[in-house]
Amino acid sequence: MSARILVSDPMSEQGLALLRESGFTVDYLTGKKPEELKAPLQEAEGWVVRSATKATAELIDGAPRLRVIGRAGTGIDNVDVQAASRRRVIVMNVPGANTVSAAELTFALMAALARHIPQAHASLKAGRWERTSFAGEELNAKTLGVIGFGRIGEALAVRARAFEMKVLAFDPYRTQQSAGPANEWVTLDDLLRRSDFVSLHVPMSRETRGFLGAPQFALMKKGAKLIQVSRGGVLDEAALFEALKSGHLGGAALDVFEKEPPEGSPLLTLPNVIATPHLGASTVEAQENVSVLIAEQVRDALQGKGIRNSVNLADLGLAEGN
């Protein structure tokens, strides 16, 4: 009897085919409620999720044969890693697979903020011709502060420098030398005070929840703009609303929210906010990349061919590649 893998979020046909051709039985069940996943998890040895499915302790504990959870993406805040480690279940992700897509969306949102593109588009579609209402600003010679200088933050910096922007970088987990000489390494407070645009690229954790709030917004330049394409909850949305409504911040572009979908969010009522529905990895290329890579990793782990990109190997007493 072949091992079963539950895939509970959308996955490309190429990723699904790779698993089936490797001899696994794949239960492809997307859009299901948690209670509807309990039965297939009874037999699953592997479980592939994206961001919609919540791999809770209850579901993990109710999966007696489960050995691997694969997150087709980077963030793992929807997976109870502690519960998985307690059950000796390997949790892995695919960092880097959506780097270009997320960096390009961030840059597109920054340009849209600078030139009021969504507002001008809506005005024209409504039959108005308001050229003088949407005077914007150039990105050239402006300062971009990148908070979280991992793969996506660094890719964004490369694109910003191509537009002759000055890049300030802050990341408590990296050194200036590891990020290269082209970026100025600064403290968080210095970055906030000096930046015309601030882009947030930090993972969601207990340490980063509410990472930017009222004190940090108060440090930012009057009229500065914020771009958020990381994880919902890493900024205080109520404090951001007040900073934008008061005019202290000039605008914000948001791709992620603490609650998704953000029904009733007052941020969406502000004219200086533009928003997209969590599209950071929503490109054909990124979707294919994450699907194939996580399929390969789950296959190899279940077939004893090695473990890659696990986030809880230390807790399990294992080493990468074992």
Look at residue 2 in the predicted model and tell me its pLDDT: 83
Examine the pLDDT at 320 and tell me if it is beyond 80.
no
Per-residue model confidence as pLDDT tens digits over 256-283 = 999 999 999 999 999 999 999 999 989 9
Examine the pLDDT at 314 and tell me if it is beyond 90.
no
Domains, the chain, in order of start with CATH, read 4-97+284-316 (3.40.50.720), 99-275 (3.40.50.720)
Selecting among 36, 260, 285, 320, the annotated active-site residue is 260
| Confidence class for position 319, pLDDT limits 50, 70, 90 | low
Examine the pLDDT at 100 and tell me if it is beyond 70.
yes
φ and ψ of 243, to 5 deg: -65, -35
Look at residue 322 in the predicted model and tell me its pLDDT: 55
What is the reported pTM? 0.85
Q: Is 278 a catalytic residue?
A: yes
Mean pLDDT of 30-40: 97
∠ CA 64-67-68, nearest 5°, is: 130
Examine the pLDDT at 244 and tell me if it is beyond 70.
yes
Q: Is 207 a catalytic residue?
A: no
Report the SS3 class of residue 321.
coil
Rounded to the nearest 10°, the torsion over CA 259, 262, 266, 270 is: 130
> What is the share, in percent, of the chain residues with pLDDT greater than 90?
86
Look at residue 43 in the predicted model and tell me its pLDDT: 97
Quote the mean pLDDT of the chain.
94
Look at residue 96 in the predicted model and tell me its pLDDT: 87
Residues 6+ apart with CB under 8 A from 177: none
Selecting among 116, 159, 231, 299, the annotated active-site residue is 231
Spatial distance between the Cα atoms of 230 and 258, rounded to a whole number of angstroms? 11
∠ CA 123-232-74, nearest 5°, is: 110
Mean pLDDT of 170-198: 85
Selecting among 159, 278, 296, 299, the annotated active-site residue is 278
CB 68 within 8 A of CB 90: yes
Q: Is 50 a catalytic residue?
A: no
Per-residue model confidence as pLDDT tens digits over 45-76 = 999 999 899 999 999 999 999 999 999 988 89
Look at residue 321 in the predicted model and tell me its pLDDT: 65
